[in-house]
Amino acid sequence: MSKKVSKGAIGELLSSTKNAIALWIQVIDCNGKKNQGQLSTQIKASKLEKPLDDLTKITTLMHAHGTKLGIVFKAPIPEENYHACFKELEGCVKTLMLFMSLFKQLVNEENKYSHLFIDELTKAARSLLSAVQDLLAEMEKELNNTESTNRKERLISVGKIWQACKNIDDDLGEGPSGIIKKRLKETNRLIKDADQEYEEWLENPSTENYDNDLDDAFGIESEKGDAEQNEQGDNVVEEGFLKYAKGKAAKLRMIRLLIVSLNKSIPSSRYNVRYARSIDLLDSERVRLAAIVDDFVAAVVYDQDMEEAVKAGELLQKQALKIAKLVSKLNEGNKLRTGWLETWQRKFTEEAPQ
């Protein structure tokens, strides 16, 4: 015969679980920060041989826990259901403890899995804990309700748990390889926008002060004299600068081609230090590439500053080649994946020499 459970016992378990989750969220938020050690020592890392496989099992369990909790905690809760409520909540807590222990192991072994991958899992883990936190708040309300309320919030919280579990499973399925491919697509969109702006300027080059566009947009009247306005009316770009800018247009197009084509040369995920370092380096370098593209376009389109344009252009060439060589190295000599990269590098260095 099962032990009788009181409403108060359920309330106490709900309260202690909420406190535990609040602490776990702090641990996740402090991942990689100075005060990480003080908080994370309260969680013991697991020592599983295949933690990613076990994480999949845990998300399956959490999906089921969310469903069952949403069912049993529906007001009014009859006394004969208290035991089921308590046991289901207790099981959920145990699963979450395993989840945090496994998460701690993955964080400790980040050099094996890559910062990129662990960062995505960290975001998904926080979403899961936040979703459980929301459900617990709704469960407290349902526990104390004596009448049926047909509250949708409880079911919404369950749906958030399902989605968080799916996000973790998606990250596990994609691995570092899939995640870097998504981020490269983001970089491609940024570079595409910058390149389109550059091409539009080349079609109608002008030394127009773009600050005036902001003045017009906000209805700010110019106080400049006629002489100054006439001086600014001559918006012809210096011939040598325009020639330089046109010569670099092909470079930008080739960089777009590089980034949009890289996905076919990203090898499948491997969980070792060498692969992890390469993926993390590629992630940081693609961010730097997009920033340099922006600097170059700004120097040409907005500032017409030859010195800054040349400086940014040189950095752009070095950065693009660096990424191409990095991906070639990532493939460890696989010519089927890197042959086109060698061709691209050759044409890129030959294109419109300055």
Fold of 7-175: A middle domain of Talin 1 (1.20.1420)
State the burial class of residue 152 (Cβ atoms within 10 Å of its Cβ: 0-12, 13-18, 19+).
Answer: exposed
Least confident of 25-34, 140-149, 309-318: 25-34
pLDDT at 35: 46
Please spell the DSSP secondary structure of 131-200, one letter per residue: HHHHHHHHHHHHHH-SS----SHHHHHHHHHHHHHHHHHHHHHHHHHHHHHHHHHHHHHHHHHHHHHHHH
Q: What is the pLDDT of residue 3?
A: 73
Q: Which of 175, 344, 200, 179 is nearest to 259 (CA)?
A: 344
Element (H, E) at 224: none
* Tokens of residue 187, six digits: 């970089």
CA count, 13 A, side-chain hemisphere, 251: 27
Helix ranges restricted to H, the chain: 7-29, 36-40, 51-72, 82-108, 110-113, 115-144, 153-203, 211-217, 226-233, 239-261, 273-297, 306-330, 335-350
∠ Cα 198 203 208 (to 5°): 75
Highest mean pLDDT: which range of 141-150, 232-241, 261-270? 261-270
Specify the higher pLDDT residue, 245 or 214: 245
Q: Which pTM value belongs to this model?
A: 0.86
Contact in structure between 157 and 134 (CB atoms under 8 Å): yes
Mean pLDDT score of the chain: 88
Q: Is residue 235 within 8 Å of 336, Cβ to Cβ?
A: no
Burial of 108 (0-12, 13-18, 19+ CB in 10 A): middle
pLDDT of residue 151: 65
Mean pLDDT of 27-46: 69
**Amino acid sitting at position 28:** I
Crossing angle of helices 273-297 and 153-203, rounded to 10°: 50
The two three-digit tokens of residue 324, written as one number: 């191409």
Token pair belonging to 244: 């330089």
* Spatial distance between the Cα atoms of 148 and 142, rounded to a whole number of angstroms: 9
How many whole angstroms from its chain centre is CA 241?
Answer: 38
More confident of the two residues 226 and 299 = 299
The string of pLDDT tens digits covering residues 150-173 is: 667 788 999 999 999 999 999 999
The predicted structure's pLDDT at residue 2: 59
Distance CA 348, CA 329 (A): 18
Residue 295 pLDDT: 97
Residue extents of the structural domains in the chain: 7-175, 179-350
Q: Give the distance between the most distant pair of CA atoms in the chain.
A: 98
Confidence of residue 208 (pLDDT cuts 50, 70, 90): low
From the list 174, 194, 216, the residue with the least C-alpha distance to 312 is 194
The mean per-residue pLDDT over the stretch 45-59 comes to 96
Residues 76-99, mean pLDDT to the nearest whole number = 96
pLDDT score, position 207? 73
Give the residue from 192, 298, 304, 197 showing the smallest Cα distance to 244: 304
